[in-house]
Every structure is written in structure tokens, then in C-alpha cells.
Amino acid sequence: MSLYSALKSKGPNGFGYGSTAEDVTAGLSLAGKTFLLTGCNSGLGLETMRVLRLRGAHVVGTARTEAKAAEAGNTAAGGSFTPLACELADAGSIRACVAAVKASGLRLDAILANAGIMALPKLEKAYGVELQFFTNHVGHFMLITGLLDALTDDGRVVVTSSGAHGSAPRGGIDFHNLGGERGYRGWTFYGQSKIANILFAKELARRFAGTGRTANALHPGVIQTNLGRSMLNPVTSFLFGLAGPFVLKSIPEGAATQTYLAAHPDAAKWSGEYFADCNPARPRRDATNAELARRLWDETEAIVADLPA
């Protein structure tokens, strides 16, 4: 726990900034439950996978390759584990992952869309779409909509967004520049992909209304992980390393909010919300725009429909 964590108070549900993934699952048995988690090999995903298994869950952990997922699975104990490849910038890999889950017959109690990339310094693309938007949003959209048949009737979708959604362009999503040709800034496009995560969860929650299923998005906090690799140089890395223990969340603290939303019984009552520090929070105003959320869904479906078979 950092100095800052120790000073922060708890939220209404008794959890808060300094709560860890182990804290929010203390006393829970997740035996018999199955969670699919993207990005299980690093940072928040690795810790989330470890704690879900510690509580007895079966985790379907995905990484860019099956070997990476399997290697990550070998670092944790308890529960059980199925490694799968899911390269979120490769439509074929996502389709194969969906097919493998369906063929397994597993029913998913929650899907955690955790994987992500941040602030790429130069414009990169997948299928003509800016790479952060594709990886963080479109890839997860494909995976999750492909897996809805495998989600239990009270299944949860948990989408890891970021407070950096605040750096999205004016209006939230610039639909005329999804490829970045009309101008590219790493942070703006990261923010756009992260506001898309919130809008996607919101529209999915609207579609789930009247069922037992839920969809929520979250900001995990600011945590030193591999996420910053494209923006850090040796000097900033060193400074980050010095300051981190005092001002940043630890990885166990950073994994808490997504673990709470996926696994805690009390979280079943929330849908279409944005969480931070394990409690509901307020995102940027256009992240709550239902019309924008619907439009993003439609435009994403159109992108997916155009992908090569």
C-alpha cells in the first residue's frame, strides 16, 4: 500500500482506493465459476487471474499467443486454467478464440476485457483502423459479442477503461478519423479507445436490460505496469520507479475494481456504470451519451462486417 492509499477513505461498499483484489474477494468461494480474462500474462490481468484462481475459479486466460497464456497460467495456483490465444489486433485470432470457447462448452460467469495498449507514439493501424482503437475497443467488441451465447444468464461483462478517457477528442469519438489519417496523437487516440470502452459497456448494458446480465466499465487507477512501455524512456522509467511506491496504486490495488465487478455478489446490482476505486464514479459527460453509445455500436459492427473472412 502506498502512502497515498493509506490516506484515502473507503467508498460506500467498504472498499476503496487501497483495496486489493484479494480484499474484494476475501471469504468468497468462486469454485464452480468460470471467468474469461484477456491480457492474463501481464500487469492487472496477471494479478486478476491469480486472485480469481486463489478463490477457486476456473479462468480462461487469453494472451497474444497460447504459449504466453500457458506460461502465465503456470505462475498461479488454485482453481483451474485454460490458456487460449487471442491477438486482439487479428480478426482470425479473435474468431478462433470465440470458436474454441464455444467448442469447450464452458459457460462464462464473467468476461473481463482487460488487455490494452497505451499512447503509441506513432500512428499504427489494423485493417485501416488506428491500432489502439482496434485493439482496445474493436477487438474486445468482436470477442464479447461473439461470446454472448456462452455467457450465463446472470453473466457479467467487465470492461477495463481508464480515467484517460478524458483525453478523447471533443464529442468523444471522431468517426471521421478512426484511421488517424486526419491527424494522430497517441494520448488522444488512447483516450478515444477508452471512452469507447465505457460507451460499449453502456450500450451492452442497455441491450441486457430486463435480463440478469450486466455490463460495466472501470478505471483501475494509475499503476506501474508494462502499459507505459511505449511512452517511457530510461529517465522517466527511473523517476516513475522512485515515485511509484508513494503515489501510485500497487498492482494488487489496481486489479481490485475489475475483480470486484466480476466476482463480488454485491456488484450484480450494477449495470451500465463506470467504476473507480471499487465504487461507482462519474466519467466524462459524453461517456454517458446513450445516442453516442448506440452510434458507436453500429459503426463498430460496420467495421467488423468489413473485416476479411
Ligand X SMILES: NC(=O)c1ccc[n+]([C@@H]2O[C@H](COP(=O)([O-])OP(=O)(O)OC[C@H]3O[C@@H](n4cnc5c(N)ncnc54)[C@H](OP(=O)(O)O)[C@@H]3O)[C@@H](O)[C@H]2O)c1
Count of residues near ligand X by CB under 6 A: 28
Shortest distance, position 291 Cβ to ligand X, whole Å: 25
Per-residue string for binding with ligand X, 76-115, x by CB under 6 A? Answer: ----------xxxx------------------------xx
Kindly state whether residue 300 participates in binding ligand X, applying the rule CB under 6 A.
no
* Residue 9: all three cell numbers together: 477513505
Q: Assess contact for 60 and 84: CB atoms under 8 A.
A: yes
Q: Assess contact for 283 and 165: CB atoms under 8 A.
A: yes
Kindly state whether residue 43 participates in binding ligand X, applying the rule CB under 6 A.
yes
Closest CA to 161 of 212, 120, 216, 119: 216
Nearest residue (CB) to ligand X, 211 versus 246: 246
Instruction: Name the residue type at position 86.
Output: C
Kindly state whether residue 116 participates in binding ligand X, applying the rule CB under 6 A.
yes
Helix (H, G, I), strand (E, B) or coil at 157: strand
Kindly state whether residue 21 participates in binding ligand X, applying the rule CB under 6 A.
no
Shortest distance, position 253 Cβ to ligand X, whole Å: 11
Residue 36 forms beta bridges with which residues? 60, 111
Kindly provide the residue ranges of all beta strands, DSSP E only, lying in 6-55, ordered along the sequence: 34-38
Shortest distance, position 258 Cβ to ligand X, whole Å: 8
Kindly state whether residue 64 participates in binding ligand X, applying the rule CB under 6 A.
yes
Kindly state whether residue 117 participates in binding ligand X, applying the rule CB under 6 A.
yes
Angstrom CA distances, 58 to 48, 114, 135, 243, stand at: 12, 17, 25, 36
Nearest residue (CB) to ligand X, 284 versus 294: 284
DSSP secondary-structure letter at 149? G
Closest CA to 226 of 218, 237, 235: 237
DSSP secondary-structure letter at 10? B
Nearest residue (CB) to ligand X, 106 versus 231: 231
Shortest distance, position 27 Cβ to ligand X, whole Å: 26
Which residue of the set 4, 127, 184, 274 is catalytic? 184
Residue 249 forms beta bridges with which residues? 223
Question: Which residues neighbour 148 within 8 Å (Cβ) at sequence distance 6 or greater?
Answer: none
Per-residue string for binding with ligand X, 241-270, x by CB under 6 A? Answer: ------------------------------
Residues 143-172 that bind ligand X (CB under 6 A): 160, 162
Shortest distance, position 276 Cβ to ligand X, whole Å: 10
CA 2, CA 244: separation in Å to the nearest integer?
8
* Residue 152: all three cell numbers together: 450465463
Shortest distance, position 153 Cβ to ligand X, whole Å: 27
Among 39, 61, 180, 283, binds ligand X (CB under 6 A): 39
* Residue 153: all three cell numbers together: 444468464
Per-residue string for binding with ligand X, 215-244, x by CB under 6 A? Answer: ----xx-xx-xxx-----------------
Shortest distance, position 228 Cβ to ligand X, whole Å: 7
Catalytic annotation on 17?
no
Among 5, 20, 34, 41, binds ligand X (CB under 6 A): 41
Question: Which residues neighbour 253 within 8 Å (Cβ) at sequence distance 6 or greater?
Answer: 1, 5, 17, 18, 19, 20, 221, 223
- Phi and psi at 162, nearest 5°, equal -165, 150
Q: Which residues bind ligand X (CB under 6 A)?
A: 39, 41-45, 63-64, 68, 86-89, 114-118, 135, 160, 162, 219-220, 222-223, 225-227
Indicate which residues carry an active-site annotation: 184
